[in-house]
Amino acid sequence: MSVILKANWNYPTTVWAGPGRIAELPGACSALGIKRPLLVTDEGLREAPMVRRALGLVAGARLFARVRGNPVAANIDEGLAAYRAGSHDGVIAFGGGSALDAGKVIAFMSGQTRPLWDFEDVGDWWTRADPKGIAPVVAVPTTAGTGSEVGRAGVVLNEETHQKKIIFHPQMMPRVVISDPELTVGLPPAITAATGMDAFVHCFEAFCAPGFHPLADGVALEGMRLIQTYLPRACEHGADIEARSRMLAAASMGATAFQKGLGGVHAIAHPVGAHYNTHHGLTNAVLLPYVITYNRPAIEGKLAVIARLLDLKGEPFGALFEWVLGFRRRLKIPQTLAEIGVPVEDAELIGREAALDPSACGNPQPADAAAYARIFRAAVKGDLRLPA
């Protein structure tokens, strides 16, 4: 039997969760003093009925739908031009991770005078920003994975360097999130699976990241428990509103937890996505077991906690590893990077870039460029027996 899950949270920002709550979009805008929002969405959603409806709900809203998957700086520049030309006073970031990230970065950049790359997540570079120049954002996720709706950063691809750069500022956090499961029921099973696995990897890597952060650990564990039960349900029964509700929550939990850190899966997925334009969640889902194998010496104790939580029987590492493989099979996630079009030739380059990726700081087992190149090669070829 399905239950209706509706609530307002103020953690980690204001979240209005529940079916049908997109109808409250005008209230969200007026609560933030937004009269002329720019609605930023993915190219693929331009004509979607839910986007047309959202535009119709807020008088004064205009559409910017030129955000590609893995958004590039040109998308941000074009969005900023539209924002300024339309004298907008806030952003509705509406869509999957790419649209949410782009919308947040456009709002952040709307009142800055320095160039975008000055705000990369390096040291205290975020203090270069003028906080008064950051426009308010209402975030409306239409996938359950990225969790960008509760995140303080946006990922933008620098096409000159072929690197994904993280643009960070604490005030990039959306001020109101409308978490409406009805907006996700049309997602096909493959996208539901790939985005949901991104959320799982956020929780998994955050929990395994070293450091003292029991708040993040608790959120990460519950996120994994929810995904174990509800991601298959959402894939197999797309209109299951309870499953869609809990997956939206789990996605927000993943992004909340990874304030603690991420790890090698994201460190490799970022350069792979930058060079081959692969889907972020799918790339993570493929990479996960190869990184678990490499990290084994450092995470056996933590995997025992996860195995207990997921009610897996037997020796914890083996049980958890087999569960991950079986879960991926059930969700029809490919076994190798080769199956998603990634060649092995650039292993050294991917290894170098992975070692430099900010996510690498959270990897529990020390890894250098050569180690990441080895993991990458194993993931392209499907060799799960990678020596540590």
Enumerate binding residues for Fe ion (CB under 5 A).
198
Element (H, E) at 351: helix 347-356
The least distance separating Fe ion from the CB of residue 280, rounded to whole angstroms, comes to 6
Query: 385 vs 84, 290, 370, CA distance in Å?
Result: 53, 8, 17
In the structure, how many helices (H) and strands (E) does the chain have? 12, 9
b/e sequence 71-109, b meaning 16+ C-beta within 10 Å:
bbbebbebbbebbeeeebbbbbbbbbbbbbbbbbbbbbb
- Please choose, from the candidates 269, 225, 232, 285, the residue with its C-alpha nearest in 3D space to the C-alpha of residue 249: 225
Residue number, nearest CB to Fe ion: 198
The least distance separating Fe ion from the CB of residue 261, rounded to whole angstroms, comes to 13
Q: Which two tokens stand for residue 324?
A: 């991950």
Distance CA(93)–CA(32), nearest Å, equals 14
Q: How many residues does the chain have?
A: 388
Closer CB to Fe ion, 198 or 346, in the complex: 198
Distance CA(22)–CA(317), nearest Å, equals 42
Closer CB to Fe ion, 90 or 254, in the complex: 254
The least distance separating Fe ion from the CB of residue 300, rounded to whole angstroms, comes to 24
Burial of 181 (0-12, 13-18, 19+ CB in 10 A): buried
Spatial neighbors of 111 by CB under 8 A, at least 6 apart, are: 130, 132, 133, 134, 135
Closer CB to Fe ion, 198 or 242, in the complex: 198
The least distance separating Fe ion from the CB of residue 160, rounded to whole angstroms, comes to 23
Closer CB to Fe ion, 22 or 208, in the complex: 208
The least distance separating Fe ion from the CB of residue 284, rounded to whole angstroms, comes to 6
263 contacts 208 by C-beta, under 8 angstroms: yes
Closer CB to Fe ion, 25 or 268, in the complex: 268
The least distance separating Fe ion from the CB of residue 20, rounded to whole angstroms, comes to 28
Angle at 331 between CA 328 and CA 332, to 5 degrees: 85
Q: Could you check whether the bond before residue 387 is cis, i.e. omega within 30 degrees of 0? A: no
Closer CB to Fe ion, 110 or 295, in the complex: 295
The least distance separating Fe ion from the CB of residue 245, rounded to whole angstroms, comes to 21
The least distance separating Fe ion from the CB of residue 204, rounded to whole angstroms, comes to 11
Closer CB to Fe ion, 27 or 334, in the complex: 334
Q: Which residue do the tokens 């960070």 mark?
A: 168
Closer CB to Fe ion, 51 or 265, in the complex: 265
